[in-house]
Structure 1
Amino acid sequence: MAGWLRSGRRRAAGIAAGLALLLVCMMGSLLFGVHTYRLEQLWTAYADFAGTNEQLILRTSRVPRTLIAAFVGACLAVAGCVMQVLTKNPLASPSVFGVNSGASLLIVIGLTAYGSSMSMVNMVWVAFVGAGAAAACVLVLGLGIGGRFDPIRLTLAGAAFAAFASSATSGLILLNKQSLDAALLWMIGSVSGRKLEHLAAVLPYMAAGLLLAMLLSASLNVMALGDDNARSLGQRLGLVRLLAAAAVVLLAGSSVAAAGPIAFVGLVVPHLCRSLVGNDHRWLLPYCALTGAILLVAADTVSRLILMPKEVPVGVATAIIGVPFLIRAARGRSHE
């Protein structure tokens, strides 16, 4: 599958157009919502800060949620693309590694133990630890005979762990109803109420995951040809798979920690980008990062405008987009 943009010049132009579109979406996210602001107000919020309500909202709410949406969208999309190669499953997404369920379980355990005294920053770290531990368990369970990596076993192990963690999470919420509201707000997936320190806590892991995924792009191209072909071309499959799994854990774990388990971004975006640039991961991964950021920033902006003055969590908005796509892809029309 070559994609619509077949030449390097067109693909580079597509990157430039995507960056421009992302900038427009981010400006829209910063300026529009329950309260609408002007560009000059955004400028003075930093250049001439006077502590007004408008400036405080822009600096402490709009800017953090826009930046977090962009980074989380990029990371989830790249993680989904890597997962689809790693598992040889075109419907794979970061949830296959159990990161969503593991993070949710540990968050609920933390809320049960500490209640309202648990800060958002602490929730970020607890979620990241839970996501990483869950992914490690799934990787161990997914190893085949002789320690070989088995994509089918990995998918089944992820599904089994997700079912177990979801049941345990539901049980804890029923036993401790005081944690219900806080847990549900986080588990739906939202970038509302986040601050820059939440992004700063996970940004190093996001950057490391993105860099590792980009460095593996050529190896992912070889891996996509099949195990036998990859070995004949000198590919060290075990090492590449381990590094790819590490990239997914860093990307998905940090994203879930920052914004909760936002669904379908990692599923939808790689398919859309393949229709543009084909299966060359040297172009596909950057396109996924850019498109994922655009999608989540735009979805967050729309989600706050639908039912004003109330807001719809962005996780609900992405689910509305993703469910029809999942049905279409499962029927075999959207993937090779």
Structure 2
Amino acid sequence: MRIATLRERICYTLGAERLGNSFKLHRPSLMMSAIGRLRRVPLEKLRISAYNVRTKVDEEKVLQLMESIANIGLQQPLVVMPSKEVPGADDGVIGRRRLEAIRRLREGRPGALEKWFSSGVPCLVRDFTPREAIMASLVENLQRGDLRPEEVGEAVNRLQVEYGMSLEDVVAQVKVEMGYIKRALEMYYELTKHGLTPSRPGRPPKRGRRGEVPAVAAKLASRLEEQLATAGVDERRAELAKKLLIKETGERGLSGKAVELVVRGAVERVRRGEDPVRAVRELVERISSEKYKTRVITLPAKFFDLIAALAVEKRVSFDRMLEEVVRAGLKAMGIEL
């Protein structure tokens, strides 16, 4: 397989196509007010821009990228802008995950840091305006397809409130459907109503940090409202249950998996005639106190089939049935929890 040259990767970042031995720009945007200056910037001079729309990165993916960079180097330069807050520093607008991975090399692979970045980190330095920086970061990360909806919503809200862009203008420039942008804004507004917002630039947060709501948890809360409505719960009680779940998730720092357990348990209890708000409150309390953890386990297929059949028979979730089986097994061994 042919590996692209550094020049080709830089031109791809800027939106160019190869024509023989030259390159032609084919997707001009706000990023293209100037091509930018390619230079190496000392790692200690690089910061995360406040205009970078990625507010949270997955630590596992950062470590995987760190290993890749340690082995083959940086395949695409960062895109930065001169810092207005710290003279002599540069703020990363595009490439936050790459920058976090390079930072991890200090402790994880110091030899690789010296090998690849002894003279600095390859960067394209651009003279963005704040609005251009947000838009460039948003477009780049939407193309990668791994932004959380609330991150998209926050970025679009900033473009509207701080820089006077209409929703139609934003949609036209980012090239995504209006419906997706509206749903992202709704999720962002829902979180901010409860004082919960995406984390800002810095070291990737640990799972379950208080005040933050994982993307999957926010989706599950909306799913809870839908399932409650299907189960015949009136609209007001279903909405209260959803808001309570979002609030408790942020305040207690629940993981996405813990929220999934609450949603499943709440729906099961509602189907048995219990109040949804009370069910959510009690389940959150129980799951928080028991400190659930997530592990990937391998068991014989017949075990899973049996537990799945029991779950259907008892009308509970697979996870709940597995928990009951484990508890019963431990009790039979004389171990009380």
TM-score by length of 1: 0.23
Give the structure with the higher percent helix: 1
Give the structure with the higher percent strand: 2
Q: Which has the higher contact order (CA 8 A, sep 6+)?
A: 1
TM-score by length of 2: 0.23
